[in-house]
Amino acid sequence: MAASPNILWYCTDQQRFNTIAALGNPHIRSPNLDRFVAESATFTHAFCQSPICTPSRASFLTGMYPSAVGVNGNGFHMFPRHFEDRLISKVLRDEGYDCGLIGKLHLASAFLRREERVNDGYDYFQYSHDHKGGNERGNEYVEWIKSQGIDHNTVLQPRGILSSDDYRNSHKHPGFGGFMEPTPENDNVPPHLHQTHWCTEKAIEFIGRNRKSDMPWFLSINPFDPHPPFDAPYEYYRRYDPETLPGAHFKDGDLEHQNRLTTAGIDFQTVARHPAELKHKKLQASYYAMIEFLDEEFGRLLDHLEQTGQRENTIIIFMSDHGEMLGDHGLLLKGCRFYEGLVRVPLMISWRAQVQPQISDALVELVDLAPTLYELLGMEAPAYVQGRSLAKRLRGESLADSHREFVRTEHYAATNLLDETHATMYRDRRWKLVVYHDKGICELYDLENDPWEHNDLSENPDYAGVKWDLLCKSYDATVYAHPAQTDRYGPF
């Protein structure tokens, strides 16, 4: 067994925090995640640093805020080459790890093709952004389907987004974010041909690679699900009765508030509608079904590590890059909003004999993951790392510590939409302040009394003092999120 621990980093796409049965959702089945909760450090209040894929991934893979690493949105041609040495995968490769990636990378634009790479450290690279589209350049998932003698065009639906104009009207494209209800006769991608299953097959292949006996491995697994469209395989969708599900968090006044934000031009991928128009319970059924499928495949990986004797010496991270609105407030998909369902994600970390199982409500940012790995591996975190290590908490040495007094999230023209909206979120234990910059609009929520954020208090004079205090704190936090300067050599 390698002296240094292996690392398995499983990152789903667009999975909300409240989608695990063991953490309080009685409507979803997640037996493997439930057992993983029992043996991991589980953080119920983990927050992404951007509610969009690329800046979030660039952030947690470097330990820097999106604005600091200079990757603020989707659609960039290439991750900044001058920062490639800051990617944790490149750092670990240089430390002697065998590094692999399966599924999404999304550190750069994945628009209709394989994205351009920098020297990211991945020697084993099985790329597939999603289970849509045709025979695009370098899509190993498509090649896997074809290798089984199957015409991939009979399995994969076209993405339907062929231009920037298409993207900006993506809410009109069912293949991007719509609902595809399967039947026994007309399934979506069946489980045995699905990208989620392919990710597991390739992960098992990587884990079994012929490498030196003392060479540790680092594997990043990035399935596309439960990212919309809501197109679960029938085998999993049939397990949920939409009428028994609670549906979206919605109250009278939500549409009026969303229309105010839309009128101001604030970017979002969909236009707010009443959840009934969205078929929100069927969407929820499909979303939960996709997560149950992910749960089953993640369980296969846990079992494989046990069977091969590698579970004891493997750090396992399960998380998601950001959440999904799922009909809350009348919205689907993502964009410039900061509701809990969109910015709060699952996060579990396990390393037997090293990480103390616990369920913690400490405020955590995904930017904390890179420095946590540095400390767990006995490495000094570089000066540019902005996150705060969780290693002592994982070991049970600082459970009384609150870790963070607040978390912050950025949206700096993150979506390729016309307004290029800039906004920031500041959230502490009780309050959440959102500022839509240059709009004269902000939101203030009392999360103790209004956990699903239906009652904006920002214009209520009774809360003017709270608002001003949070505005000052948010401004300070934004200023201190700047990149670290170079080391001082002398006094001048």
| CATH number of the domain within which 295 lies | 3.40.720.10
What does DSSP say about strands 41-47 and 358-365: parallel, antiparallel, or unpaired?
Answer: parallel
| The two three-digit tokens of residue 396, written as one number | 């049970």
Closest of 117, 33, 76, 40 to residue 358, by C-alpha: 40
**pLDDT value at 143 more than 60:** yes
pLDDT at 171 (0 to 100): 63
Is 476 inside a domain boundary?
no
How far is 63 from 380, CA to CA, in rounded Å? 13
Does residue 420 have a pLDDT over 70?
yes
- Whole-model pTM: value is 0.96
Does residue 319 fall inside a structural domain? yes
> Nearest CA to 70 among 489, 483, 484?
483
Q: What pLDDT is stored for residue 114 in this prediction?
A: 82
> Does residue 115 sit within a domain?
yes
* pLDDT for position 211: 94
Number of structural domains the chain divides into: 1
pLDDT band at 190 (very low <50, low <70, confident <90, very high): very high
428 domain residue, yes or no: no
pLDDT band at 51 (very low <50, low <70, confident <90, very high): very high
User: Residue 1: its pLDDT value, please?
Assistant: 40
User: Are the C-beta atoms of residues 380 and 51 closer than 8 Å to each other?
Assistant: no
Interval 286-298: pLDDT, tens: 999 999 999 999 9
361 pLDDT tier (thresholds 50, 70, 90): very high
**Bond into 229 cis (ω within 30):** yes
Query: Would you say residue 425 lies in a domain?
Result: no
Residue 240 has pLDDT above 90, yes or no: yes
CA proximity to 269, closest of 414, 436, 110: 414
pLDDT above 80 for 487: no
Lowest mean pLDDT among 58-72, 130-144, 337-351: 130-144
Residue 383 within any structural domain of the chain: yes
**Predicted confidence (pLDDT) per residue in 91-115, tens digit:** 999 999 999 999 999 999 888 778 8
For 243, the token pair is: 């009428």
How many angstroms separate the Cα of 479 from the Cα of each of 317, 338, 357, 472?
30, 20, 35, 11
pLDDT(400) > 90: no
- Give the per-residue pLDDT at 38: 97
Mean pLDDT of the region 43-64: 98
Please give the residue range of the domain that contains residue 360. Answer: 6-409
Q: Does position 353 have pLDDT exceeding 90, yes or no?
A: no
In a domain? residue 484: no
Structure tokens at 410: 């950025």
Looking at residues 144-150, what average pLDDT do you find?
94
3-state secondary structure the chain: CCCCCEEEEEEECCCCCCCCHHHCCCCCCCHHHHHHHHCCEEEEEEECCCCCHHHHHHHHCCCCCHHHHCCCCCCCCCCCHHHHHHCHHHHHHHCCCEEEEEECCCCCCCCCCCCCCCCCCCCEEEECCCCECCCCCCCHHHHHHHHCCCCHHHCCECCCCCCHHHHHCHHHCHHHHCECCCCCCCCCCCHHHCHHHHHHHHHHHHHCCCCCCCCCEEEEEECCCCCCCECCCHHHHCCCCHHHCCCCCCCCCHHHHHHHHHHCCCCECCCCCCCCCCCHHHHHHHHHHHHHHHHHHHHHHHHHHHHCCCCCCEEEEEEECCCCCCCHHHCCCCECCCCHHHHEECEEEECCCCCCCEEEEEEEEHHHHHHHHHHHCCCCCCCCCCCCCCHHHHCCCCCCCCCCCCEEEEEECCCCCCCCCEEEEEECCCEEEEEECCCCEEEEEECCCCCCCCCCCCCCHHHHHHHHHHHHHHHHHHHCCCCCCCCCCCCC
- Average pLDDT (266-281) is 96
| Mean local confidence (pLDDT), 256-270 | 97
Tell me whether residue 492 is in a domain. Answer: no
pLDDT, one tens digit per residue, over 304-333 is 999 999 999 999 999 999 999 999 999 999
Average pLDDT over residues 464-483: 96
* Dihedral over alpha carbons 397, 399, 400, 403 (to 10 degrees): 100
